[in-house]
Amino acid sequence: MDEARERLRIAQTALEEGRDPRDDEWQPSVTQPDNGGRPNANGVITGRGGKVVCNIDAFRRVVCPGVPVPGEAYHKRVEALQQAVRDAEQALAEAEVRYRRESPD
């Protein structure tokens, strides 16, 4: 049971420490331009309430950078960490059952 408890502790620690996205797990997002994509009084197209300057892409579309969001790699990694915790919890439960069965009365 001690090994199962330690495995669970390690898995839980890894999950807690792995909750923040790593640098390579961010993906850009796109937001809608302010004012329907029309320039403001300064002749600049902005987005996110004037916080970012939007650009025109090669297809003449207005593209406003958004806030980076965690990508698929992040979600896969966190899911694997969560699965490791579930597996460790199951192993501990099985170890406890074995201990109860095999311990002297």
The reported pLDDT for the residue numbered 60 is 87
Of residues 67 and 79, more confidence is placed in 79
Q: Give the ranges where 36-71 is alpha helix by DSSP (H).
A: none
Average pLDDT estimate for 88-93: 98
The reported pLDDT for the residue numbered 66 is 85
| pLDDT above 70: residue 105 | no
Rounded distance, CA 66 to CA 28, Å? 7
Look up residue 12 and give its two tokens: 């839980």
